[in-house]
Chain A
Amino acid sequence: METKDILNIIRKGNGKAGIISILENIQERYAYLPEKALRLIARETGYPLVDIYGVATFYKAFSLKPRGKHCISACLGTACHVRGAQAVVDEFKRQLDLAPGGTTPDNEITLETVNCLGACALGPIVVSDGHYFANVAPGDTKDIIQGTKDGVYGSNGNAKMYLFPIEAACPQCNRSLMDSEYRLAGYPSIRVNVLAGEARGWARLPSLYGNFTRIYEHEIPDNTLVKFLCPHCGSSLQGKAGCMECNAPMATVKVNGGGGVVSICTRTGCAGHMLELNGAAA
């Protein structure tokens, strides 16, 4: 299974940008570069293994060791350094009992240092699972570690803040898509029909903006392109925009009587979404 998966990634990157982009794709999938993958790349591309290994160790973005579920990166850029970033890193090292590049024995957290994240005005900067912390002091490290372990800094974690409910309607027939009988996250759900290949069914989406729960009548595997349809008039909700995260087509519903539109990605597993207010439209 894994071999097949790796081969798919290698063959997808049809040659031009070469080894680096293949390695990037493999690391994106596995969060590190397994030895098996390096050997397979050598076999498939015809480059000597030593060259592949050379590239994999030359660039800092690659890791030959498995990484933890969460990642804390502390910036050691010049601006962060003069504001005391080293003391912050030292404190992370002490608290986690890790050297930068290492992962906790329970495989929870990897600690990394980076040369510069480019948010220099706010240093020292620490990034946990994509969430940026500004002006970090050694005393803040404990809370950051705890929050990271609790998983509150990933995209779902952030979404807990400042959520608000919306009212959705079909952009074609204008009829409401709200289902107050079936509630999600405490609010009426948005009901649409869904088409995945030949399979038809319903889907329920939360009306709480920023919540990404999706309930499907029939289970649909991640990474499947689906079509959303209006349950009343049957028309496709497919809009014209592409998803900013993955470029898949987005489905669009009207919200709050036309005060705006919400687009959501039609690729299962992708959290891409966008609320456009009418006034903000081009």
Chain B
Amino acid sequence: MMDVRRDKLASVDEFFAMQAQLIAHDDPEMPTIVISAGTCGQASGANALIRVAKGELLQKKLTGRIRLRITGCHGFCAMEPSALVEPRRTFYPKINPDDMITIIEATAKGDIVERLLFVDPETGRRIEREEDIPFFKRQLRTIIGRNEKVDPLRIDDYIRNGGYQSFAKVMSGQGPRFVLDEVKASGLRGRGGAGFPTGQKWELFASQKNGAAKYLICNADEGDPGAYMDRSVLEGNPHSIIEGMLIGAYGTGATEGIIYIRTEYPLAIKHLNVALSQAGELGLLGKDIMGTGLSFDVEIVKGAGAFVCGEETALIRSIEGRMGEPRQRPPFPIVKGLYGKPTMINNVETWANIPVIISFGGRSFAGVGTERSSGTKIFSLVGKIKNTGLVEVPMGMTIREVVGNIGGGPAENGAIKAIQTGGPSGGCIPASMFDLTIDYESLKNVGSIMGSGGMIVMDDKTCMVDVAKYFMNFLKDESCGKCFTCRKGTQRMYEILDDISRGKGNLESLDLLEELAVTVRDTTMCGLGQTASNPVLSTLRYFRDEYIEHIEKKRCPAGVCKGLVTYFISDRCTGCMLCVKACPQGAITGKKKQRHVIDADRCIKCGNCRDVCKAGAVEVV
């Protein structure tokens, strides 16, 4: 059953007994088909695979011989929908429902399906096991690797795989001080972006004694466009967040927990709701947890679509039901936060790291990564790259290793030009600097930030002026409007960038842009405004020549800025008429087997012709 209701656990010993029983009743050798069904998986067709697998196992009477486990995202999104067959750990990428039937037949006989295995694009060889595939091989998947082990709707799966064990460990005789010391020793820094030392924050919070209530908040308002590691953890392993918060509550004396999650993540909200009610039924949340005297509960508050609410004072106002406008700090939320009470906010990935720290010990955790940036970090490697997906690596790896080795290089035939990290608060890092190591300080030194972990790859078909304009458009919409310089400054920067993208800019406007950027950075109150200039400053710093080309030659070298490009059909045209039919404006003329022509006056540059052309004859200049 999905959740067999049981009595509440009365003691920590009862928990360990239950865990031992779950492990004893599990047969690790039983063939198990694991289907990756996070939002990405479902978008790629995982639901059909699940349905086919269920129907097939039932009708062939295999339900006692082959298990099915539906899990969150495994991370290799480019290969979705995918399945993993345990115990051999055979990885089947990009499968369809018919393939699923074949896989079930083979699994029942103890075979593998050779032709459906992953093919290494470099060697052309088939690779059976997930961990041997280059994308997975070079990662250290401490957090995201747990997704494939647990069905997020089954607390038993989580407990069997060591879940709530860290919490039970700290509750069996270790004092709150132990928790604080371990987190401090781990050197963990906030995964939300700013990188504040978590242990220090916890210690400060633990010492707060302002009234009865103290709040813990999980910031799950993953607003950076292009970043989705938090969603994946929330969907795939919601109990790990709850466990992290429980340990935090014990260590700091917090009385209530809130998960503030963006409403754009329906599956994550659903899984969290189920996880919270299961943890409550087992007595892992609520009053007098496992008879230890600790009382702590967690509730979900949904965001309503405002990027600025990722900022902690705005987030607090939003939970209070008000407009999400940041306020001046100090007082910091640690002292005076939600409803005026001490409040500590940590990001999803930070919370997910807490059980890991307790389990491995703070010192061994600190042994991973670099001296000042310990542990692993999950990145969403997306954009113009072959192996899109979630990548978890130790801090201190170079960008080149992540993009080249794990990411597998450029998608299609492009040449990678830059990566963008840190979302709208971050910046672009050019390919010439890819030997840079990934840690909080080095990214900041080159004008970007770690941020929450978005890593968007850009190639020669990405226009850097357009990227800056894109972020400024985003920021001017999302600026709450409280600080004049942010409200008007982002608006003006957008207008200047828009002019440049239309060929209406001049060289003086670059100076004005820089001056505005510095003013907005220096005169605004919250993180949104203070970092809003990063996309502009970093692209001006590393890709000034592209700006100048837009201004002086009225040309967009990447072929993106609509006002500066024209579509034309080259002599590679085979005269197939596809584009003639696809053109919504009737702007393309031509006869069969003759080269077609685009009427530039009627062309709206929608790109339909380029999409349908099989000969690659539609060019943009």
Interface residues of A (CB under 8 A from B): 17-21, 23-24, 51, 54-55, 58-62, 76-84, 87, 90-91, 94-95, 114-123, 125, 130, 132-134, 137-139, 158, 161-164, 166, 209-210, 239-242, 244-245, 247, 252, 255-257, 259-261, 263, 274-282
Contacts and interface: CB of A to CB of B under 8 A. Distances in A.
* Interface SS of A by simple majority: mixed
Interface stretch (B299-307, B350-358, B526-534): B299-307
A55 B322 contact: yes
Interface stretch (B115-123, B219-227, B242-250, B327-335): B219-227
B180 interface: no
A61 B269 CA distance: 16
Contact of A122 (B44, B48, B69, B156): B44
A256 B606 contact: no
A94 to B, nearest CB: 7
B265 to A, nearest CB: 6
A274 B43 CA distance: 20
8 contacts: A21-B301, A51-B322, A241-B2, A242-B277, A247-B277, A255-B58, A280-B151, A282-B22
A134 B59 contact: no
B63 A138 contact: no
Nearest to A79: B382
A277 B606 contact: no
Contacts of A137: 607, 611
Nearest to B230: A118
A59 B305 contact: yes
B40 A138 contact: no
Given A61-B305, A139-B582, A166-B58, 5 more contacts: A94-B584, A95-B584, A121-B78, A121-B381, A278-B64
A115 B48 contact: no
Given A60-B306, A78-B454, A241-B3, A91 B228 contact: no
B187 interface: no
Interface of B: 1-5, 22, 30, 39-40, 42-44, 47-48, 51-52, 54-55, 57-59, 61-69, 77-78, 80, 97, 151, 153-154, 156-157, 222-228, 231, 263-266, 270, 273-274, 277, 301-307, 318-324, 380-384, 388-390, 420, 423, 454, 456, 458, 462, 467, 470-471, 474, 478, 480, 582, 584, 604, 606-608, 611-612
B304 A60 contact: yes
A120 B226 contact: yes
Contacts of A210: 51
Given A83-B384, A260-B63, A158 B47 contact: yes
B277 A61 contact: no
Contact of B225 (A95, A115, A122, A163): A115
Contacts of A281: 1
Contact of A256 (B22, B61, B231, B319): B61
A84 B607 contact: yes
Given A116-B224, A278-B64, A256 B607 contact: no
A119 B228 contact: yes
Given A122-B80, A166-B58, A279-B30, A79 B68 contact: no
A98 B369 CA distance: 50
B43 A278 contact: no
A247 B5 CA distance: 14
B73 to A, nearest CB: 9
A20 B321 contact: yes
Contacts of B470: 78, 81
A122 B607 contact: no
Given A164-B55, A244-B274, A91 B606 contact: yes
Contact of A261 (B1, B22, B223): B1
A76 B467 CA distance: 12
A138 B606 contact: yes
A62 to B, nearest CB: 6
Given A77-B226, A240-B4, A280 B68 contact: yes
Contacts of A256: 58-59, 61, 63
Contact of B456 (A20, A79, A162): A79
A90 B22 CA distance: 54
Contacts of A84: 607
A114 B478 CA distance: 12
Contact of A244 (B153, B156, B383, B471): B153
A200 to B, nearest CB: 27
A114 B477 CA distance: 12
Given A21-B321, A240-B5, A277 B57 contact: yes
A17 B319 contact: yes
Contact of B608 (A82, A125, A138, A259): A138
Given A120-B382, A121-B380, A122-B40, A277 B54 contact: yes
Contacts of A55: 321-323
Contacts of A18: 320-322
Contacts of B231: 118
A116 B474 CA distance: 11
A162 B55 contact: yes
Given A76-B225, A240-B3, A244-B270, A277 B304 contact: no
Given A20-B321, A244-B153, A277-B68, A119 B264 contact: no
Contacts of B59: 164, 256
Given A17-B319, A166-B58, A277-B58, A121 B304 contact: no
Which of B5, B153, B264, B456 has the most A CB atoms < 10 Å from its CB?
B264
A90 B608 CA distance: 11
A211 B389 CA distance: 34
B559 to A, nearest CB: 11
Contacts of B63: 256, 259-260, 277-280
A210 B48 CA distance: 11
Which of A95, A121, A255 has the most B CB atoms < 10 Å from its CB?
A121
Contacts of B52: 162
A60 B57 CA distance: 44
A12 to B, nearest CB: 15
A121 B2 contact: no
Contact of B223 (A94, A116, A164): A116
B289 to A, nearest CB: 21
A114 B384 contact: no
B149 to A, nearest CB: 14
A82 B456 contact: yes
B281 to A, nearest CB: 9
Contact of B383 (A17, A19, A79, A242): A79
B465 to A, nearest CB: 13
B97 to A, nearest CB: 6
A228 B320 CA distance: 41
Given A132-B39, A256-B59, A162 B51 contact: yes
A80 B420 CA distance: 13
B534 to A, nearest CB: 13
Which of B78, B228, B306, B480 has the most A CB atoms < 10 Å from its CB?
B228
A120 B230 CA distance: 13
A95 B319 CA distance: 39
A279 to B, nearest CB: 4
Contacts of B58: 164, 166, 255-256, 259-260, 277
A77 B305 CA distance: 13
B78 to A, nearest CB: 6
Which of A54, A77, A116, A138 has the most B CB atoms < 10 Å from its CB?
A116
B249 to A, nearest CB: 19
Which of B22, B63, B324, B474 has the most A CB atoms < 10 Å from its CB?
B63
Contact of B607 (A60, A87, A115, A134): A87
A186 B42 CA distance: 28
A23 B304 contact: yes
A163 B228 CA distance: 32
Contacts of A76: 225
